[in-house]
Amino acid sequence: MLYCTNDQRFLPDRFVEGKCPYCGYERARGDQCDKCGRLLETTLLIEPRCVICGNTPTFKSTRHWYIDLSNFAETLTKFLQKNKQISSNAKNFSLNWIREGLKSRAITRDVEWGIPAPFPGAKGKTIYVWVDAVLGYISATIEHFRRIGKPEKWRDFWFDKSAKTLYFVGKDNIPFHTIILPALLLATGEDYNLPWNVSATEFLQFKGEKASKSQRIGIWIDEALELFPADYWRFFLMSTRPESKDTNFSWDIFLEKINAELNDTFGNFIHRTLTFINSQFNGEIRLFKLTAEDEVVLQAIREKVEAVAHEFETAKLQSAANTLIGITRVGNQYLNDKEPWNLIKIDKLKAATTLYVSAQIVKAACVVSAPFMPATAERLWQILNLSGSMHTSKWEDALKHLQEGHKIAKAKPLFHKIYADEKKLDEKLAKIRAKKLSEEK
C-alpha cells in the first residue's frame, strides 16, 4: 500500500490523490475517480501524492482482508440483466465493469477511526467505509426493531420477497450499490433481498463547473432559502434532475422553470380558475351538464395522474415534474377553448360547467403537486376549502370530484414572478454570503 514517510501513515482512499489510470483525470482519489466513476486501488494511481502534505508516497507492505468479487460475477450479471427497474446508467456502468473482470477488493483499512475489523489477527484494522455504510442499511433495520421490541421483524424487510429496497444515489456511488452491496449480501449464503432499484443521477454542475464547497462554487441550502421559498427549489431540482446526463445550473434555467412553468402555466391556470369562481359564482362549484368534450378532458387528467404515479414508482422524477405541469397545460388549453369569460354572457349554466371541470383539474393538480411542493399544495388545499390537511389525503383523492355546491375560499396567488436577471441574482447571493461569513466571525 502507499505510505507517506513524512506523515508516517498509510494513505488509504481519500488520503491520496493522483492521475486516474483509466481516464487520466488529474485529481482521482485513492478509491475512486470522480470523473469516470471507476473504483480504484491507491496503488493504481499515476503520480500519487499525499493529500496531507503533498509529498510523493512510497510502497510499504501491510496485511489486509479481501472479498473476492470475481466469485459473484455471474450472479451479479444475471441480477443486473433481469432487473427492469435499475436506471440504465447504473446498469450499463455496472455490467461494463463486470465484463472487464472483477477483482478482489480489500475491505479493511489502516486508519484509526472506524469500525474495528472483527477478523482474527486484524488488530488495528478498521472496515472500509463503503462496506460498513451499505451494510448499515441492514444493521439500522435490525437496531430499529430491537428498540421497539420486535427483534425478528427486520427479516420481513430483507427476506420477504414482497419487500423492495430503493436507493437514490449520485453516479459516483453506483458501484457500491450495484456491486459491493449485492456481493456482500450474496457472500452471507442467505437469501437476502438484493436492491430492487438503484436510481442514479448524473452530476448537477453550477454554471459549467463542478460544485465545490471549499471554492464556494454552488448555492448552499441556507443561502437558497433566503433567496426563494423551498418549494421553488424543490420543483426546480426535480424538474431538472440529471437522470441520464450531467445537467447545469444557471439562473436563466431557474427563472424559466419558475416564471414560465410554475407561475405562468401552473399558477396562472389555478388562479384564473378560482378567481373566476369567486367573482362569478360566489365561490361555489356548480354543474349543468357535462359534454363529451368535457369528459375527454377529464379522462386526459385521469391519465396524467396515473402517469405521474407510474413515474414516481419508477423513480423518474424529472418526467413526473413535467407531467405535473402538463396537467395544468391541459387546463389552460381547455379554458382558452371554452372562453368562460365570454360564455357567461350568453349561457351562465354552460360557463358554470366549464368552471366545474376546471376546478376538478385544480384539485388533481393540488394532490399531484404535494410530493414536489408540499407547502404550496397545502395552501391550495386550504383555498379549495377541503377538510383536514393535504398531507393526510391519499393519491386517489386527485380524481375524486369536488361536489356541486362546494364552496371554495378566496383565491390567492401561489407564486410570484421573479423580476431579476442573472447579475442581480448573483449580487443578492453575494450579499447573503458576505453577511453569513461576517456572522460566523
What are the distances in angstroms from CA 239 to CA 248, 333, 417? 12, 22, 18
Q: Which of 393, 399, 387, 400 is nearest to 371 (CA)?
A: 393
pTM: 0.85
How many CB atoms are located within 10 Å of the residue 199 CB?
Answer: 20
Give the cell for residue 236: 426546480
Is residue 363 within 8 Å of residue 402, measured between CB atoms?
yes
In the numeric block, the cell 366549464 is attached to 354
How many CB atoms are located within 10 Å of the residue 211 CB?
Answer: 16
Based on C-alpha coordinates, what's the Rg of the chain? 27
User: In a structure prediction context, what are the per-residue pLDDT tens digits for the chain, which is 441 residues long?
Assistant: 999 999 999 998 889 999 999 999 998 988 888 888 788 888 899 999 999 999 999 999 999 999 999 999 999 999 999 999 998 889 999 999 999 999 999 999 998 889 999 999 999 999 998 999 999 999 999 999 999 999 999 999 999 999 999 999 988 899 999 999 999 999 999 999 999 999 999 888 888 887 777 677 889 999 999 999 999 999 999 999 998 888 889 999 999 999 999 999 999 999 999 999 999 999 999 998 999 999 999 999 999 999 999 999 999 999 999 999 999 999 999 999 999 999 999 999 999 999 999 999 999 999 999 999 999 999 999 999 999 999 999 999 999 999 999 999 999 999 999 999 999 999 999 999 888 888 877
User: If 0-12 CB within 10 Å is exposed, 13-18 middle and 19+ buried, where does residue 410 land?
Assistant: exposed
What are the distances in angstroms from CA 254 to CA 90, 147, 235, 417, 420? 27, 44, 10, 12, 11
The structural domains of the chain, ordered by start, are 2-59 (2.170.220.10), 66-201 (3.40.50.620), 232-399 (1.10.730.10)
Measured in degrees and rounded to the nearest 5, phi and psi for residue 206 equal -115, 105
Is residue 118 within 8 Å of residue 106, measured between CB atoms?
no
Strands 197-201 and 166-170: parallel
